[in-house]
A and B are shown apart, each in its own frame.
Chain A
Amino acid sequence: MSADMKAGAPRGGMLVDGLAQVGACGLFLLGMLGAIPRSLRHLREISRQIWFVGAMSLVIIMISGLFVGMVLALQLYYTLSIFGGTAALGTVVALSLYRELGPVITALLFAGRAGTAMTAEIGLMRATDQLAAMEMMAVDPIAFVATPRFLAGVIAMPLLANVFSMLGLLGAHLVGVTWLGVDNGTFWSNMTSNVDVWKDIVNGTWKALAFGVVVSLIAVFQGYTAPPTSEGVAYATTRTVVFASIVVLALDFVMTAFLM
């Protein structure tokens, strides 16, 4: 597939190449969605992949969430104290985390940790003929390799984003209440009365789900179509991080504008 595409690709400009990639990626997504019924026979493989991507990213996402929450508390405490509004610290931190930073930073970390691993793994499977071997054993590699990883990423992302936000709140509480002396009761009550579970938390979860779709799609597609050489796989992992980051940040703007 990759070899054919490479051989047949017009030597057009970057725009044409880019559009062709987007088109191929869209077709690949349709292929994976079409394979979902057959993938459901490989439930064991799907749960194994959820475990992999989840376990792989959990620690880095927890640590990052904690630090981001701590920094947020410091910065916002300073800003809010200018207006004498430090009582709102919990609210502002929670809204920033759940609506924005949780999904976005989780997606970026997820692309760097689990996304690159997916790309490299699938690329190497192609380079070492493992995908061809599956074809020869009458097992569809899209249904067995691509779709389970894609689904695992889509399922794991919202969970990880919520873990990130929760740890962020914990970090903000540590800094704001324990260190800077914001009243514990004020921190929570102000937050719980102003953060709307449906509007804010579900809104952020939709974002995380959408980011899960694009990051996993890019990672699996890059791996599946990587040239079967060491450079090919290396470039593909780099492209996964670059493309996934750009698409996540752009999509974040669009979704924020529409979901406000």
Chain B
Amino acid sequence: MRSFSVVWNTTIIQKWVMAITGICLVVFLLAHLSGNLLVFLGPEHMNAYGVELREMFHGAAIWVVRLGLIVALILHVLSGIKLARLNRGAKAVRNDKVEHRTSTIASRSMIYTGLLVVVYVVYHLAHFTWGVAHGEYYHVVDHLGRHDVYRMVVDSFHQPLITITYVIAMIVTGLHLNHAISSALQTLGINHPRYTPMLRLAGPALGMLIVIGFLSIPLGIMFGLVK
């Protein structure tokens, strides 16, 4: 019988790993976005949500989710780097003239957009989770003594430099998602003439929707929709 590692390291199973972990990350993005959009409902909702997240199941829930995300991200990054190197080696010499017909800038730059997302995630955690970047906005409490998530977000995005950083990060993420979602379905073997033409449009559309959703927050704050 073939060992686990032989099968695990085949290109196709590595792509299954990419697709399954990638979809976990997309589901997280959707959940994260729906939470973040509470900022439009005001400080009460936002800060209560922050407390709820940290205290659900005596604080266990957030750690279970975090653990899952860390595992998914590590597997996604490791397989992504492994595949990217393999793919580059398989095409060590390229033709002088290459005409792309179906691939896109998004599909050809997955490894670069992916690695940029890692950089962004570290910054983002340092900013809003650990409070080590822009700490001046982090250490605020509201009238109930709760961590004032709302104030932290709104004050941060009043800084044009911070807003611009987030906008760029979201565009990069959007490029990744533009290819990622419908690609994952193909990897999982979901391809049928009845619905695949639709799904090939729905994937990029969902990616775009996620990015617009996230962008609405810094831009909404900068343009004064949220005070």
Bound together? no
Residue numbers of A with Cβ under 8 A of B are none
Residue numbers of B with Cβ under 8 A of A are none
